[in-house]
Chains A and B, each alone.
Chain A
Amino acid sequence: MTTTPSQTVGPYLAIGLNWDDGPFVAPEGTAGGFWIRGRLTDGDGNAVPDGLIETWQADPAGRFDHPDDPRGAAAPSVEGFRGFGRSATDRNGEWGVYTLRPGRVPDVDGAPQAPHIDVSVFARGMLHRVVTRIYFSDETDSVLAGVPPERRHTLIATPTDDGYRFDIRLQGDGETAFFAL
């Protein structure tokens, strides 16, 4: 069967996709919790004020509470951990999620990957999501090794006072590396 095609979220995505608790991958105040904040910008460097960022990640033990994980579903190692985050961009293109550093997850050959968070970006003007990853250091893994060396820095979050910063540039100078999934 043919799959259903993607269409843009359009300019009114906030009606359908805003959640009050969207940014909280883990409950606020969880030990070790921090914010990842960033700005979504277009090919002219202008803010994208009608975008949506979603994140998905392992818990701090590197496990997923999901039956398709071949290691078995694991209840979160941290109370209230959801693994999923969602943040609409504001008029300055800024978004943020509150989370914990994920543990290591094996790659398709069983080798450990560097701690990472999968990211989907949706917006008016995007007929399909784009997918990227947030990493926390320049430690490499088999996925980063597939990214041209001069672009790897676009996937590495930078430390801030309350966590990390991860700007997403859809096009142009410093364009974020995006993945085909």
Chain B
Amino acid sequence: MIYRPDFDVHPRLDYDGYKSTALRHPKQPLIALPQSFTEITGPLLGEGRLGDLDHDLTRQHDGEPQGQRIIVHGRVLDSDGRAVPQTLLEIWQANAAGRYQHVIDNWPAPLDPNFTGLGRTLTDNDGRYRFTTIKPGAYPWKNHHNAWRPAHIHFSLFGRAFTQRLVTQMYFPDDPLFPYDPIFNSVPDEKARQRMVSRFDLASTQPDWALAFEFDIVLRGSDATPFEAEVDDE
């Protein structure tokens, strides 16, 4: 089996708008790596990596975090629309004020003693996942004068192969900061950029409790015989 390349979808490693790329991208050409068994396999990490409340970022402390409670859910699929079952998702995010629980984040927005901002879960057999969290705030950064990151949640996925590994960011619909954010705009193709924007999902909101956003994540597909049944809702 071979995982089909998707180079055109991803940002270039040297992207002028994002200054920190300047000294952190290779200048020599990348060398083709044929996909041998090391590349078509990968870590299949399971329940042993999860704590009981890892999927609910609002219940990891004695009290509730400040902010708008939201459900973030969706499916992990490959580019042929096949579900990626039992795969580990890891997320991390800022709190409602846009501050990370991290020693180097010290901009003057409040920390929240009831929010760490770390979540983990596995997809089910249909590739579905679900987190409860709070909506992260936007925050300033030093890339250029008056730079602000649109609100986002970081997502890390393994898929089932080293080749499918993906780290991305989920954004929220209609964010007014999109036109000014070089990280969002580093993705050259408009359609691909929209893949990173979640969809407000009224049907999944919980009345009197939480709003909901749907975010499907698409990993590289392969030419393999389907391991799981095809899905037809695309």
A interface with B by C-beta (< 8 Å) = 1-17, 19, 42-44, 46, 48, 54, 56-58, 64-71, 82-84, 105-108, 113, 116, 118, 120, 122-131, 133, 142-143, 146-147, 151, 170-172, 175-181
Contacts and interface: CB of A to CB of B under 8 A. Distances in A.
Interface string B194-206: 0110000000000
B147 interface: no
A5 B39 contact: no
B217 interface: yes
Contacts of B220: 3
B177 interface: no
Contact of B92 (A17, A42, A120): A17
Given A129-B165, A172-B27, A15 B183 contact: no
26 contacts: A2-B189, A2-B191, A3-B166, A3-B218, A3-B220, A5-B9, A5-B168, A7-B167, A9-B167, A12-B100, A68-B1, A68-B41, A105-B37, A108-B35, A118-B39, A127-B11, A127-B12, A127-B186, A128-B10, A128-B11, A129-B167, A142-B34, A147-B31, A177-B31, A180-B30, A181-B162
A65 B6 CA distance: 27
Given A2-B218, A15-B118, A16-B118, A126 B24 contact: yes
A2 B156 contact: no
B80 A68 contact: no
Interface residues of B, number: 81
Contact of A64 (B37, B192, B196): B37
A107 B33 CA distance: 10
Contacts of B160: 66, 68
Interface of B: 1, 5-7, 9-13, 15, 18, 20-28, 30-45, 49, 77, 79-81, 90-92, 94, 100-102, 104-105, 116-118, 154, 156, 160-163, 165-169, 183, 186-187, 189, 191-193, 195-196, 217-221, 224, 227, 234
Give the interface SS of chain A, mostly helix, strand, loop or mixed. loop
Given A17-B90, A56-B43, A12 B102 contact: yes
Nearest to A71: B37
Given A12-B102, A43-B24, A146-B31, 10 more contacts: A1-B218, A4-B196, A7-B186, A56-B43, A68-B41, A130-B13, A143-B33, A178-B26, A181-B35, A181-B163
